[in-house]
Homo-oligomer: A and B are copies of this chain.
Amino acid sequence: MKIGIVGLGRMGANISRRLMRAEHECVVFDKSADTVKDLQKDGATGVGDLAAMIKALEAPRAVWVMLPSGHITEETIEALAGLMDKDDVIIDGGNTFYKDDIRRAATLRKKFIHYLDVGTSGGIWGIERGYCMMIGGEADVVKRLDPIFKSLAPGIGTIEKTPDRDGKDPRAEQGYIHAGPVGAGHFVKMVHNGIEYGLMQAYAEGFDVLRNKFSTDLPEDHRFELNLADIAEVWRRGSVVSSWLLDLTASALAKDEQLTNYTGYVEDSGEGRWTIEAAIEEAVPAEVLTASLFARFRSRKEHTFGEKMLSAMRQGFGGHIEQGHDTGKKGS
């Protein structure tokens, strides 16, 4: 198929390359002309603006927008809509908030332009492993673009078949699903990321408990100096906690068991936050997902004001004066 791709960052460029390897034709645009040239070398048709892209594609067109969520995605979609014809399709492959998808699609529908939201997981590994995709939108439009999704997806590969799946949608085993109407794709991807935070934090806390088992505040015969790299490695084999995130952890610890290159300052992205908001809207308790998000918030602060308040109260009722640094010991 022929498809337009707007945004050639790490994700957009690799998606283009994976599509071209599967013999699809990619018409690509990025605000950086150099990036466009790089893709041209790999076989893409580069264009200088959106109008040129629309011209280079045949109706009904499909344009995959792969930009940071927010203003830039919003504006690009508006601009595309202004250039497109009835029955064309805009695909938002970024990390858009699903309520924005619903709003946008309603606007585009008036112009008979279709909209698909595609939650895309795979990161820097996607070009080789394939991308796991969760798609929202009209069923026939999703079907029309099936060749694109099929090529981007990892495929069945060597992963063991899940028993009892006979008669179920075979696309899931290929690595992509039609999750539901517009918004459903990004919603499922959002929750995916929420879970990701929880999984990561579970490992992080567990390894913290392992590492601090050598603390001099513990009785000497209860101290262990554990080899975290070996522990991560052994858990990859036959244990209940094996996972891809554990593979990555084992790899990082094999390189440097102290992780000295990391400050411990951890960013979060919108999906983690939106997942909690969705849980609250649905009145679903989501303690672990929330704690994972808050741990990241806390990691970015030297101290909270609230912590100072705790000390002020302790002084107020007990005359306690706090120390200035961690001894690991219990207070008075």
Contact = CB atoms under 8 A, between A and B. Distances in A.
B207 A203 contact: no
A322 B203 contact: no
B314 A265 contact: no
| Integer count of this chain's copies in the complex | 4
Say what secondary structure dominates the interface of chain A: helix
B191 A206 contact: yes
A295 to B, nearest CB: 7
Contacts of A171: 230, 234
A157 B237 CA distance: 9
Contacts of A323: 265, 267
Interface centre among A188, A288, A316 (most CB of B within 10 A): A288
Interface in A290-332: 290-320, 322-326, 328, 330-332
Nearest 6 pairs between A and B by C-beta?
A267-B331, A198-B202, A264-B303, A243-B243, A204-B306, A248-B316
A126 interface: yes
A254 interface: yes
A244 B251 contact: no
Interface stretch (A34-42, A43-51, A75-83, A268-276): A268-276
A6 interface: no
A24 interface: no
Contacts of A238: 121-122, 125-126, 129-132, 153-154, 175
Interface stretch (A108-116, A139-147, A178-186): A178-186
A124 B319 contact: yes
